[in-house]
Amino acid sequence: MRYLLFYLLFLTNILFAQTTVQIAKGWQLMGLPEQLNDMRLFNHKDVQIIWSFDAAAQSWLGYASDSTVQTKITDAGYGQLSSLKPWQAFWILSNNTWTAALHTDSAIPTDPLNTHLELYRGWNLISLPSKTVVSADFFDEMTVWKYSDEWQVHSNTSLPFPSINEISVSEGLWVKSTEDQTIDLNEKASKLHTFESEEAMLEYIRSMVKNHRYPYYGYIDDWSIITPGDNTDFSSDGFSDPQTTIETVSDATSTNLQEEGVDESDILKHDGQHIFFVDQENARINITSFTNISAGEYTPLQQITLESGQNVSAMYLQNNRLSVISKKYEYHILEGDPQKFHLDIYDVSDINTIKLLTSTSIEGDYRESRMIQGKLILISHFYPQITYEYPTVYPPTTLCEDLRVQMNTIAETTIVSCDFDYCNLPDTPEYREYKALAQDYTDERCYQYNYDENGKAWKYDYENPIIVSEHLTPKMSTKDKVVELLQPKTFYAPYKMDQNADITTISTIDTADGNYLESISFLGSTHTYYASLTSLYLVSRQYPIYYHFDQYREQQTVYQFNIDGALSYTGRGFVDGRMLSQYSMSEYGGALRIATTSGNSWSTIGTDNALFVLKSNQNEELETIGELHGLGKENETIHAVRFIGERGYVVTFRRTDPFYTLDLKDPTAPVVAGTLMIPGFSEYMHPIDENRILSIGRDADSSGRATGLQIQL
């Protein structure tokens, strides 16, 4: 049972927060996530003694508010404990359970990116210095002991104790380090690691779902896998004659691509002769030709009929293969709309006999895709689902039950119109006894309990849920087999566990025959996607984001994966601010350029429009090797970005449109090469050649109010 309950109350209209810590009766090993410069917090009638361990000197320190006890501690040769660092744990002996109120300007450190654990060679008595949860693997090869009703251990050797699965703020730890070292908690917690076994991987996912603040408790019915039909023929009855000579055109535009050679999805594709376009309203894909359109013939040459309720999300056409990604309407009473999308690959080499080669069902939600030389790269999200039941527990104390009986007795003879946990009665003699009891009822937190028909207090044990059913990992059904997309050695997860339990999976399909190739996954939600010929970059805005009453800091995480050959994880990095779209990123010369905006135009701290240049190193990190800040005028934000070779183009706006040209020849020292002030703003920029940019946006008046469409060259 976990004895510590932290309540972090963020009050948006005041400049401080309060954290309350419930300290249990008896001995307890714990820590506090903030600096204590003195020990006044523990000058409490119920505190007998506190012990901590000075790892640098490998000696004990003691504190007691009773001067007689303190004298005995120092006379015995122990040092006096006079302060506590955020990462310093301690043993405390209390006569009764009591609540300590910590008044602080924030429960988050002033510098949230500089939260450190100091470890010395030998044994260390520590706790996590900020409000988070990490897996025990955070400490790598070190031996770690944790006590909560019983001892638990994290160790490479086999010991007859339960293993530590997770470590939370306020939990005290014994950690044995082989060297003096300082660990950056936030930097280390965000690192990705794989797993030694399927059991360890699944246990990690279970813990993530349990720890997430808003876990999804869904009911999992039968996640049926649809077996695809093979070689379905689509006859041409009722369509225009496909035997007409079809000419190839050379001056037709295709899907707008950010990077040459990296195909992006569309709902209209052509191969120079035939045009394939989606008709969502009538649930079909129509096929016509440039020849027919030129001749004024608009009746489709051929059609592919979709299922009722099937909605096409993306489509590709390469090497006589039409790849269609869609969501089919499926609804189960218990399950609701399942996490599932579909990939159908058609052989369109002969327009007269279009055949369905493969139909694949993939668990998860489709997010994005790319195609390079016939290899389809799919990005999907999956949300692990667990159905819990919570056992009921009866507390050992009868104090709340006694208070409730006394209050009910008074209420039977006195008109009392208030709840047990809230009573706003006049301060008159007939109500004073009841009000005193009601105050005790609140102070003892009796409102946390339910009461049965016999007046016995009970509550749900949310710390120890019982798993009724679970669906933790996504699967793919392709042809006649089912594939597990998550594997321990290719599933990357952070040590930080108190975040959304989304799983992002990258899968590759050979569209020539529809065969599944491989997958790689990581735990984290992603929102923006960019691909070069060799790398895929996925951006998450969920971790880490820090809020502070005096400052607001926003960061995004960038994950890089190699897609040139076998899938592999390259590394991750961080940039301040938020990106506008995929065009905010571009890879050139092995470096990734990113344009971001921090802050908001309406905030008191203003905005910062910046460029960051990241490059992977040997430690699975995307290291910032160059940056440029201060683009735009005061409180302006980025509205358009485009990178072309060694140049970058950025448009910021609030009232007028500063158009910046960036010189990126030296990735370690990007500079502004030129600035153009024009009214309105651009929302999209398209390269015409190396010296001309076409911009599409809005015209605006002197106050910044948009007035109409604007196209500029």
| Domain residue extents for the chain | 6-189, 190-391+467-524, 406-460, 526-712
Residues 554-563: b if buried by 16+ CB within 10 A, e if exposed: bbbbbbbbeb
Beta strands in 187-293 (DSSP E): 192-193, 232-234, 268-270, 274-279, 284-289
Spatial CA neighbour of 512 closest among 372, 355, 345, 354: 345
336 versus 590: which is more confidently predicted?
Answer: 590
Average pLDDT value for residue range 598-615: 85
The pLDDT value given to residue 6: 29
Q: What percent of the chain has pLDDT over 90?
A: 50
Q: 555 falls in which pLDDT band (50, 70, 90)?
A: confident
The pLDDT value given to residue 442: 84
The pLDDT value given to residue 596: 95
Name the pTM for this structure. 0.82
Please determine, for residue 582, whether its predicted confidence score (pLDDT) is greater than 60: yes
Residues 25 and 44 sit within 8 Å (Cβ to Cβ): no
The pLDDT value given to residue 228: 34
The pLDDT value given to residue 236: 45
How does pLDDT run across 642-698, given as a tens digit for each residue? 999 999 999 888 666 688 999 999 999 999 999 888 777 778 888 888 888 888 888
Please determine, for residue 319, whether its predicted confidence score (pLDDT) is greater than 90: yes
How does pLDDT run across 382-392, given as a tens digit for each residue? 999 998 898 99
The pLDDT value given to residue 97: 80
Contacts of 659 (CB under 8 A, 6+ apart): 649, 650, 651, 675, 676, 677, 678, 682, 695
Q: DSSP string covering 392-460, please?
A: EE--S--HHHHHHHHHHHHHHHS---SBTTB----SSHHHHHHHHHHHHHHHTTGGG-EE-TT--EEEE
Angle subtended at Cα 600 by Cα 130 and Cα 640, rounded to the nearest 5 degrees: 115
How does pLDDT run across 400-457, given as a tens digit for each residue? 899 888 888 887 776 555 554 445 666 667 678 888 888 888 887 888 889 998 889 9
Rounded mean pLDDT of the chain?
Answer: 83
The pLDDT value given to residue 300: 93
Q: DSSP string covering 290-302, please?
A: HHHHHTT--S-SE
Distances (CA, A) of 221 to 228, 308, 337, 387: 21, 23, 11, 11
